[in-house]
Amino acid sequence: MDSDQPKSSVSRISTLQILVVMVLWASCFPLITAGIGFSPHLTFAALRAVIAGAALMILAAALRRPLPATGRDWAIITFIGLGATSLGFLGMFHAAEFVTPGVATVVANTQPLMAAFLAALMLGETVSVRGKLGLLLGFVGIVVIAVPQFFLTGGETYALGIAYILLAAVGITISNVLIKKIAGKVDVLMAMGLQTLIGSIPLGAAAWYLEDPASVQWTPAFVASLLGLSIFGTALAYYLWFSALEHTPLNRANAFAFLVPIFGILLGMTFFDETFGWAHFIGIPLTIVGVTLVSRSGDTLSLNRHRAASSPAD
């Protein structure tokens, strides 16, 4: 009995961490929309990455956290930065010009389906029949919410916004799989700080070449948006997410991403006058049921525990 208790505690803590991350991620598109009028897109994205990375690295240095020990770990962290930060931020910030925050959040979080495929291919994770049904229901719920917006807004600009969001989703998907590969092997603060700073380099170079960084309007609204994105939506979210993946299979953790659109839509309705229609009444319950099914699917956990138990100690 006692030996089972730590596993239950870790599970509850990881679930709470993941839920907090989902709320933080849901706030990102509204915060981007609030600040995008005061700064060129790439400049805004680069500033977010630099501030978040610096905050994580300062904390890691203060706590004397170790640097990655192997070249392989450095390579994986670099690719995480290029995926999550470079591609992810590029897609998010450009999409904010063409679609509303709620819709952007909805489409961006179709990435659990991409991640399920990559996790099976690269990590050997499996998804039970219940888990597959949950992923399918979550995806259908997202589609039900997002597709009607295409006919209510300008089709071409909406499609361009969706393309940018999907670009971000691809980058985030790849990085999530790579994060899972090094979770528990490198320090979380150091890894997330390094990947964010590494990812900021292409963003900063593109901003310097394509934009005028000096044109940023440092208004209170922009500063609040930038700090909210950098400290809470990025630094804290990355830290909690990496920590959760040390104890949770990627497919199970990623299923909670289907909740982000619901939080995002509620924020959009509250602050950006987005409407709540029939599509939301149908799509949101489907999404909640889907997440519930995946979160209660135990096959992936059982597989990984069996492998861990049968593997020799390092």
Residue 97 lies in a domain: yes
The range of the structural domain enclosing residue 199 comes to: 20-308
What is the pLDDT tens value at each position of the chain, 314 positions in all? 444 444 443 467 778 888 898 889 888 888 888 899 999 999 999 999 999 999 999 999 998 999 998 999 999 999 999 999 999 999 888 887 777 666 666 666 666 666 666 666 666 666 678 777 877 887 788 778 767 766 665 556 777 877 888 888 888 888 888 888 888 889 988 999 999 999 999 999 999 999 999 999 999 999 999 999 999 999 999 888 888 877 777 767 777 776 777 787 777 677 766 666 777 778 778 877 776 676 665 544 433 433 333 333 33
* 261 and 287 Cβ atoms separated by less than 8 Å: yes
Residue 177 lies in a domain: yes
Task: Reduce the DSSP state of residue 183 to 3 states and report it.
Answer: strand
pLDDT score of 306: 37
Q: pTM for the full model?
A: 0.75
Which residue, 87, 83, 80, is CA-closest to 191? 80
Residue 115 lies in a domain: yes
Rounded distance, CA 87 to CA 80, Å? Answer: 10
What single-letter amino acid sits at 84?
A
Residue 2 lies in a domain: no
Residue 314 lies in a domain: no
Token duo for residue 266: 């509620």
Q: Number of structural domains, the chain?
A: 1
Rounded distance, CA 131 to CA 144, Å? Answer: 20
Task: Reduce the DSSP state of residue 186 to 3 states and report it.
Answer: strand
Residue 44 lies in a domain: yes
